[in-house]
Amino acid sequence: MNRALSNMGLARRAGKLNWGYDTAVEAMKNGDVCLALTAADLSEKTKKNIRFEADRYSVPYLDTAFSMEEISAAIGKKTGIVVICDAGFAKKLKQELGAAGEREELRI
Protein backbone atom coordinates (compact mmCIF):
# COMPACT_ATOMS: atom_id res chain seq x y z
CA MET A 1 0.00 0.00 0.00
CA ASN A 2 1.14 3.52 -0.76
CA ARG A 3 2.83 5.36 2.12
CA ALA A 4 0.39 8.26 1.84
CA LEU A 5 -2.55 5.88 2.26
CA SER A 6 -0.83 4.28 5.24
CA ASN A 7 -0.38 7.70 6.83
CA MET A 8 -4.05 8.51 6.25
CA GLY A 9 -4.89 5.35 8.19
CA LEU A 10 -2.49 6.38 10.98
CA ALA A 11 -4.04 9.86 11.11
CA ARG A 12 -7.50 8.33 11.43
CA ARG A 13 -6.43 6.03 14.24
CA ALA A 14 -4.81 9.03 15.97
CA GLY A 15 -8.09 10.97 15.69
CA LYS A 16 -6.52 13.58 13.40
CA LEU A 17 -8.56 12.84 10.29
CA ASN A 18 -12.17 13.62 9.36
CA TRP A 19 -14.07 12.34 6.33
CA GLY A 20 -17.19 13.23 4.39
CA TYR A 21 -18.31 16.56 2.97
CA ASP A 22 -20.29 17.98 5.89
CA THR A 23 -17.76 16.93 8.51
CA ALA A 24 -14.89 18.31 6.42
CA VAL A 25 -16.57 21.69 5.92
CA GLU A 26 -17.45 21.92 9.61
CA ALA A 27 -13.82 21.19 10.57
CA MET A 28 -12.61 23.84 8.08
CA LYS A 29 -15.06 26.34 9.56
CA ASN A 30 -13.68 25.61 13.04
CA GLY A 31 -10.11 26.18 11.82
CA ASP A 32 -9.05 22.61 12.61
CA VAL A 33 -7.97 21.54 9.10
CA CYS A 34 -4.37 21.58 7.86
CA LEU A 35 -4.97 19.78 4.54
CA ALA A 36 -8.00 18.75 2.45
CA LEU A 37 -7.80 15.77 0.06
CA THR A 38 -10.20 14.43 -2.54
CA ALA A 39 -10.34 11.14 -4.43
CA ALA A 40 -9.71 11.07 -8.17
CA ASP A 41 -13.12 9.54 -8.92
CA LEU A 42 -15.11 12.00 -6.80
CA SER A 43 -17.65 13.99 -8.82
CA GLU A 44 -16.38 17.24 -10.34
CA LYS A 45 -19.20 19.13 -8.63
CA THR A 46 -18.16 17.88 -5.19
CA LYS A 47 -14.48 18.62 -5.91
CA LYS A 48 -15.46 22.15 -6.96
CA ASN A 49 -17.44 22.61 -3.73
CA ILE A 50 -14.55 21.36 -1.56
CA ARG A 51 -12.09 23.62 -3.44
CA PHE A 52 -14.44 26.55 -2.78
CA GLU A 53 -14.66 25.76 0.94
CA ALA A 54 -10.88 25.21 1.16
CA ASP A 55 -10.31 28.62 -0.46
CA ARG A 56 -12.89 30.21 1.80
CA TYR A 57 -11.17 28.95 4.96
CA SER A 58 -7.56 29.16 3.62
CA VAL A 59 -6.98 25.41 3.75
CA PRO A 60 -4.41 23.75 1.43
CA TYR A 61 -6.15 21.36 -1.00
CA LEU A 62 -4.89 18.36 -2.99
CA ASP A 63 -6.76 16.32 -5.58
CA THR A 64 -5.15 12.89 -5.21
CA ALA A 65 -4.82 10.10 -7.77
CA PHE A 66 -6.35 7.65 -5.27
CA SER A 67 -9.81 6.23 -5.90
CA MET A 68 -12.54 6.41 -3.27
CA GLU A 69 -12.10 2.65 -2.84
CA GLU A 70 -8.37 3.03 -2.06
CA ILE A 71 -8.96 5.85 0.43
CA SER A 72 -11.84 3.95 2.03
CA ALA A 73 -9.68 0.82 2.41
CA ALA A 74 -6.90 2.89 4.03
CA ILE A 75 -9.09 4.64 6.61
CA GLY A 76 -11.82 2.07 7.07
CA LYS A 77 -14.66 4.41 6.05
CA LYS A 78 -16.30 4.88 2.66
CA THR A 79 -15.49 8.42 1.48
CA GLY A 80 -13.94 10.53 -1.25
CA ILE A 81 -13.18 13.53 0.96
CA VAL A 82 -10.60 13.52 3.74
CA VAL A 83 -9.33 16.39 5.88
CA ILE A 84 -6.21 16.18 8.02
CA CYS A 85 -6.41 18.02 11.36
CA ASP A 86 -2.76 17.81 12.39
CA ALA A 87 0.15 19.85 11.00
CA GLY A 88 2.61 16.95 11.23
CA PHE A 89 0.41 14.48 9.34
CA ALA A 90 -0.48 17.19 6.79
CA LYS A 91 3.19 18.02 6.13
CA LYS A 92 4.09 14.35 5.72
CA LEU A 93 1.18 13.72 3.34
CA LYS A 94 2.03 16.79 1.24
CA GLN A 95 5.61 15.48 0.88
CA GLU A 96 4.50 11.96 -0.01
CA LEU A 97 1.79 13.07 -2.41
CA GLY A 98 4.10 15.61 -4.02
CA ALA A 99 6.73 12.92 -4.56
CA ALA A 100 4.08 10.69 -6.12
CA GLY A 101 3.21 13.41 -8.65
CA GLU A 102 -0.29 14.12 -7.39
CA ARG A 103 -2.35 16.87 -8.98
CA GLU A 104 -1.58 19.65 -6.59
CA GLU A 105 -3.76 22.69 -6.05
CA LEU A 106 -2.36 24.07 -2.85
CA ARG A 107 -4.10 27.18 -1.69
CA ILE A 108 -2.48 29.05 1.16
Mean pLDDT over all residues of the chain?
A: 90
Helix H or strand E encompassing 90: helix 87-99
Give the three-state DSSP class for 83. Answer: strand
Q: Give residue-wise pLDDT tens across range 45-92.
A: 999 999 999 999 999 999 999 999 999 999 999 999 999 999 999 999
Residue 104: predicted pLDDT: 46
Does the pTM of the predicted model rise above 0.85? yes
What is the model's pLDDT at position 46?
96
Q: What is residue 49's predicted lDDT score, i.e. its pLDDT?
A: 97
C-alpha closest to that of 83 among 56, 61, 66, 105: 61
* Stretch (H or E) spanning 71: helix 68-75
Give me the domains of the chain, ranges plus CATH numbers: 3-105 (3.30.1330.30)
